[in-house]
Amino acid sequence: MQRVLLSALIVGLSICMPVTAADVYYAAGYVASATFRSLDEHNVETFVYMVAQKGRETSPPEYRKAGSKLFYYAYRYDYTTGLYHFGSVGEKELMPGEFDIDLDLSQATLNTTVVLDSGVQPITLTVQLDFAATSSPTKVKRSFHEHSPDRLMQIRYSATERQADVAGSVLNGQDNLTPGEPLSALIYKVSNFEAIVR
């Protein structure tokens, strides 16, 4: 589960961080995340990842932002035909009331809509997820390094996290994209997140 969380954070940061080469990015706040994967009888896989956060972000000298936002990643892939039904990754700002989270990390709710740019026509998802903590708070510290020919990314953060159950659904019309139990679900507070890109 820790590997899933860290991988999801890295994917999200690659899309959402307002940083370029030689930048530093800091973040702190409250987060709820859930990952779903299902494979039906027709060998079609559906994957949904949602992470909502409420807090602040800074990237000196000028970028400062506070509020709530949602990072999402969703796709449906047919292993028989080798074709994607849809696939999209992105983020959106959340309005007040769309994401609520208890300060003690006991529960969180996410109620919003997401428009996927599927490449053919937009797909609107209705997201209604209720998180309920199932474990005691655990303090963690983690780090990650990614090196490629054109950049080096160093990430470290400390957090208090609780594992969670998730009720609700992510719907495309009447089609439930999250019919089963999540692969992972967490409610957590990030007290110090630092990413350096060179």
Give dist(CA 36, CA 29) in Å, integer.
Answer: 23
Domain assignment of residue 34, given as a range:
2-197
Tens of pLDDT, residue by residue over 83-142, are: 998 888 888 999 999 999 999 999 999 999 999 887 678 889 999 999 999 999 999 888
- pLDDT of 165: 96
Instruction: Please tell me the pTM assigned to this model.
Output: 0.83
pLDDT digits (tens, 9 = 90+) for 44-86: 999 999 999 998 877 766 667 778 999 999 999 999 999 998 8
- Neighbouring CB atoms inside 10 A of 127's CB total 23
The count of domains in the chain is 1
Q: Higher-confidence residue: 196 or 97?
A: 97
The per-residue pLDDT for 90 is: 87
User: What per-residue confidence (pLDDT) applies to 6?
Assistant: 46
Q: Are 99 and 71 in contact (CB under 8 A)?
A: no
φ/ψ region of 95 (left if φ > 0, alpha if ψ in -120 to 50, else beta) reads beta
pLDDT band at 157 (very low <50, low <70, confident <90, very high): confident
Nearest to 154 by CA among 145, 164, 165, 141: 145
> What's the CA angle centered on 87, arms 82 and 90, to 5 degrees?
155
